[in-house]
A = this chain, B = another copy of it.
């Protein structure tokens, strides 16, 4: 099996690559080739048993998609996108990468012909939902994005379903929860604090909490996120009919519950490194975000999270990212 990962240099792409290299297989099929693409050079994984091609290109440039699919990869993980904040700041760039790029990719796949019909797993986002909504958003709730990013993701879901229905590919769009704890340095994403308030205190650093402790949000670990991708890459999609977009399971909890979990898992001294500093801009942005879901359909289709509590989320971070150690 030949696997192509678009956006392989991003956090989720790197985690997925590591896992595929470690497993050597996707479901029942041995991986015979891995192609990693990103706009910045993807790191060549060490110790890979299969040949790995690394391609650095902007997949949304006209003509860029065709060479990526001409080798007829069996499974395509399409993670490439510019993030919410950037798509909002730069209207043209957002539409060019997040919409036109995906459309050109779909057309390039269609143009291969000869019965080529790859599995495509597309990472959509809970940003397809926009307030006001029910406390728990159901699977059949409509998409009313409040950002251009969410709009672009919702449109790509529709395209991937229609291209699948027409027989050009076999696609699924999975709406990822906010990945928590996100490894690495704090970034400028408005959602960054959900991870910062856990990761930084465990590193002995102070972290800023810009919202109230009753803010509720929807989380999944990087480990569960990779699990969603693998399941989406191997499951039988026929059972989904032509409803190929799906909210992934996650854990809903408040910021206060996150901090209480941190105190339980790592001690109150660690939890005390969270500094409250309300930021009206971030408070306003976060007010429009989903808080909780009833992802009944995803669970029925076999998607599961590894973590059952936010304590688990913190323990998994310590295990996967910190070799079991933190600054107490």
**A-side interface residues toward B, CB under 8 Å?**
91, 130, 139-146, 148, 151, 154-155, 158-159, 161-162, 165-166, 242-243
Who on chain B is nearest to A140 by CB? B142
Q: Kindly state the separation between the CA atoms of A151 and B140 in the bound complex, as whole angstroms.
A: 17
Taking the closest CB of chain B, its distance from the CB of A189, in whole angstroms, is 20
Q: Kindly state the separation between the CA atoms of A82 and B155 in the bound complex, as whole angstroms.
A: 20
Q: In the complex, which residues of chain B have a beta carbon less than 8 angstroms from the beta carbon of A243?
A: 144
Taking the closest CB of chain B, its distance from the CB of A151, in whole angstroms, is 4
Interface pair A162/B142, CB less than 8 Å apart? no
Q: In the complex, which residues of chain B have a beta carbon less than 8 angstroms from the beta carbon of A155?
A: 155, 158-159
What 20 new A-B contacts, CB under 8 Å, besides A91-B166, A139-B142, A148-B166? Answer: A130-B242, A140-B141, A142-B142, A142-B143, A143-B158, A144-B161, A144-B242, A144-B243, A145-B158, A145-B162, A146-B165, A146-B242, A148-B162, A151-B158, A151-B159, A154-B158, A155-B155, A155-B158, A155-B159, A158-B158
Interface pair B158/A162, CB less than 8 Å apart? no
Q: In the complex, which residues of chain B have a beta carbon less than 8 angstroms from the beta carbon of A143?
A: 142-143, 158
Q: Kindly state the separation between the CA atoms of A154 and B130 in the bound complex, as whole angstroms.
A: 16
Q: In the complex, which residues of chain B have a beta carbon less than 8 angstroms from the beta carbon of A142?
A: 139-143
Q: Kindly state the separation between the CA atoms of A166 and B162 in the bound complex, as whole angstroms.
A: 27
Q: In the complex, which residues of chain B have a beta carbon less than 8 angstroms from the beta carbon of A162?
A: 145, 148, 151
Pick from A139, A144, A158 the residue with the most CB of B within 10 Å. Answer: A158
Q: In the complex, which residues of chain B have a beta carbon less than 8 angstroms from the beta carbon of A145?
A: 158, 162
18 contacts between A and B (CB under 8 A): A91-B166, A130-B242, A139-B142, A140-B141, A140-B142, A142-B142, A144-B161, A144-B242, A144-B243, A145-B162, A146-B165, A146-B242, A148-B166, A151-B159, A151-B162, A155-B155, A155-B159, A158-B158
Q: In the complex, which residues of chain B have a beta carbon less than 8 angstroms from the beta carbon of A161?
A: 144, 151
Q: In the complex, which residues of chain B have a beta carbon less than 8 angstroms from the beta carbon of A130?
A: 242
Q: In the complex, which residues of chain B have a beta carbon less than 8 angstroms from the beta carbon of A140?
A: 141-142
Who on chain B is nearest to A100 by CB? B103
Who on chain B is nearest to A144 by CB? B243
Q: Kindly state the separation between the CA atoms of A144 and B139 in the bound complex, as whole angstroms.
A: 12
Q: Kindly state the separation between the CA atoms of A158 and B146 in the bound complex, as whole angstroms.
A: 10
Q: Kindly state the separation between the CA atoms of A242 and B148 in the bound complex, as whole angstroms.
A: 12
Q: In the complex, which residues of chain B have a beta carbon less than 8 angstroms from the beta carbon of A144?
A: 161, 242-243
Who on chain B is nearest to A166 by CB? B91
Q: In the complex, which residues of chain B have a beta carbon less than 8 angstroms from the beta carbon of A242?
A: 130, 144, 146
Taking the closest CB of chain B, its distance from the CB of A105, in whole angstroms, is 15
Taking the closest CB of chain B, its distance from the CB of A113, in whole angstroms, is 13
Q: In the complex, which residues of chain B have a beta carbon less than 8 angstroms from the beta carbon of A146?
A: 165, 242
Who on chain B is nearest to A165 by CB? B146
Taking the closest CB of chain B, its distance from the CB of A88, in whole angstroms, is 9
Q: In the complex, which residues of chain B have a beta carbon less than 8 angstroms from the beta carbon of A165?
A: 146
Who on chain B is nearest to A168 by CB? B91
Q: Kindly state the separation between the CA atoms of A145 and B243 in the bound complex, as whole angstroms.
A: 9
